[in-house]
Amino acid sequence: MNRFDYVKPQTIAEAVAAAAEPGAAFLGAGTNLLDLMKGGIANPNRLVDVTHLPDLAAIETAPDGSIRIGALVRNSDLAHDADFSKRFPAVAEALLSGASAQLRNAATVGGNLMQRTRCAYFTDPASTCNKRQPGAGCDAIGGENRSHAVLGWSDHCIAVHPSDFCVALTALGAIVEIAGPGGRREVPITAFYLLPGETPDRETLLSAGEMIVAVRLPADALAFSGHQRYLKVRDRTSYAFALASAAAALTFENGVISAARLALGGIAPKPWRAEAAEAALAGKAPGRQAFAAAAEIAFADAKPSGENAYKIELGKRVVARVLAMAAAGTPDRLPALPASPFAPIPESVVNV
């Protein structure tokens, strides 16, 4: 590991100033960053430890019902907050389907949003990787790429975004609050992440010194609390990243779908909002036909980036199933095995 400075700012302004130096990185719980440093993948010359900053570890409800989650809230604390999980159950389910209990107890909200891809070539310093070293090439193209992207990829990078949490946040229209050298700004999460194009090293809108201070779930997302779920298919039933996942949220009027929210994970370089599929669901009766049609639309532009054509069919099935789960209604309690494809769905919903 390279030598680096460690600084522990006491205010957001100090943190931003310390991180504006070239080569600096914010440190949350370190569950991702420290691994990358030990492997020689990340080589910051300064770590700006934000975990002691005041006022960033709260979950606050505004009078309009929107919820503001501080960047230092731990993943487990958010998922197990009774009020939060009742209002945004798909977000809690997504969080609890990620990593392990120990990791969730440590990992911060800000760190989860900023975690790096799990492309095996990215984490192997002996491989070429445009994300690590712009212009070097991409060993995943033509290599072992069964877990790579089928939507949004480019000839320069085919990696997927690994977060579960961010998929549910994307479905529900979360806003990212940012503090930086130029002051504060807010960005919808759908615009926060960048597609790889020719610059896969640039993953988000954040500039040097900018840090995430909070994530907000807007009040209009509350309309979906009664019908929202997250579903994740992976190689193991727990402690594995998604091969394909989806968050779905529905509202109903007179037995038909009045509004739909849908986002996909494990299939694209960023959490993928499926707006055309959402529009197609509005006004439809819930059931197999409408859900299968929405799944086709969600994957209409999908193309294999290697040996991963299976993800297109898998992803469609995940979408159809998560929509059926959401239509059946949010369970009274978080499922014992969150986001599991083995959860039963009432026949009445599947077979409508």
Ligand X SMILES: Cc1cc2nc3c(=O)[nH]c(=O)nc-3n(C[C@H](O)[C@H](O)[C@H](O)COP(=O)(O)OP(=O)(O)OC[C@H]3O[C@@H](n4cnc5c(N)ncnc54)[C@H](O)[C@@H]3O)c2cc1C
The reply on whether position 212 binds ligand X by CB under 6 A is yes
Give the residue among 245, 220, 268, 222 at the shortest CA–CA distance from 325. Answer: 245
Q: Which does 27 bind (CB under 5 to 8 A by kind): ligand X, ligand SF4, none?
A: ligand X
The reply on whether position 111 binds ligand X by CB under 6 A is yes
Among 69, 84, 88, 112, binds ligand X (CB under 6 A): 112
Candidates 101-109, 314-322, 330-338, 344-352; binding stretch for ligand X (CB under 6 A): 101-109
Q: Is the dihedral of CA 102, 108, 111, 117 positive or negative?
A: positive
Residue with the closest Cβ to ligand X? Answer: 111
Nearest approach in angstroms of CB 287 to ligand X is 31
Residues in contact with ligand SF4 by the rule CB under 6 A: 117, 119, 121-122, 129-131, 138-140, 157-159, 200
Q: Strand, helix or coil at 267?
A: coil
What one-character-per-residue DSSP string does 297-316 give?
A: HHTTT---SSS-THHHHHHH
Give me the phi and psi of 139, to 5 degrees please: -70, -15
CB-nearer residue toward ligand X: 16 or 250: 16
Nearest approach in angstroms of CB 234 to ligand X is 7
Q: Which does 121 bind (CB under 5 to 8 A by kind): ligand X, ligand SF4, none?
A: ligand SF4
Task: Give the C-alpha separation, 150 to 146, whole Å.
Answer: 10
Give me the phi and psi of 242, to 5 degrees please: -70, 135
Q: Which does 31 bind (CB under 5 to 8 A by kind): ligand X, ligand SF4, none?
A: ligand X
Among 12, 16, 26, 243, binds ligand X (CB under 6 A): 26
Give the residue among 159, 129, 132, 130 at the shortest CA–CA distance from 147. Answer: 159
The reply on whether position 192 binds ligand X by CB under 6 A is no
CB-nearer residue toward ligand X: 185 or 303: 185
CB-CB contact of 242 with 259 (8 Å): no
CB-nearer residue toward ligand X: 215 or 257: 215
Candidates 61-69, 105-113, 221-229, 243-251; binding stretch for ligand X (CB under 6 A): 105-113
Among 50, 119, 171, 263, binds ligand X (CB under 6 A): 50
Q: Which does 140 bind (CB under 5 to 8 A by kind): ligand X, ligand SF4, none?
A: ligand SF4
Q: Which does 138 bind (CB under 5 to 8 A by kind): ligand SF4, ligand X, none?
A: ligand SF4
The reply on whether position 33 binds ligand X by CB under 6 A is yes
CB-nearer residue toward ligand SF4: 128 or 251: 128
Candidates 104-112, 219-227, 308-316, 322-330; binding stretch for ligand X (CB under 6 A): 104-112
CB-CB contact of 47 with 7 (8 Å): yes
Nearest approach in angstroms of CB 194 to ligand X is 15
Give the residue among 325, 122, 97, 93 at the shortest CA–CA distance from 227. Answer: 325
Q: Strand, helix or coil at 352?
A: coil
How are beta strands 46-49 and 59-61 bridged, if at all?
Answer: unpaired
CB-CB contact of 128 with 200 (8 Å): no
CB-CB contact of 139 with 131 (8 Å): no
What one-character-per-residue DSSP string does 19-38 give?
A: HTSTTEEEESS-TTHHHHHH
Amino acid of residue 190: T
Rg of the chain over CA atoms, in angstroms?
Answer: 20
The reply on whether position 162 binds ligand X by CB under 6 A is yes
Which residues of this protein are in contact with ligand X, per CB under 6 A? 25-33, 50, 71, 98-99, 103, 107-108, 110-112, 114-115, 162-165, 211-212, 241
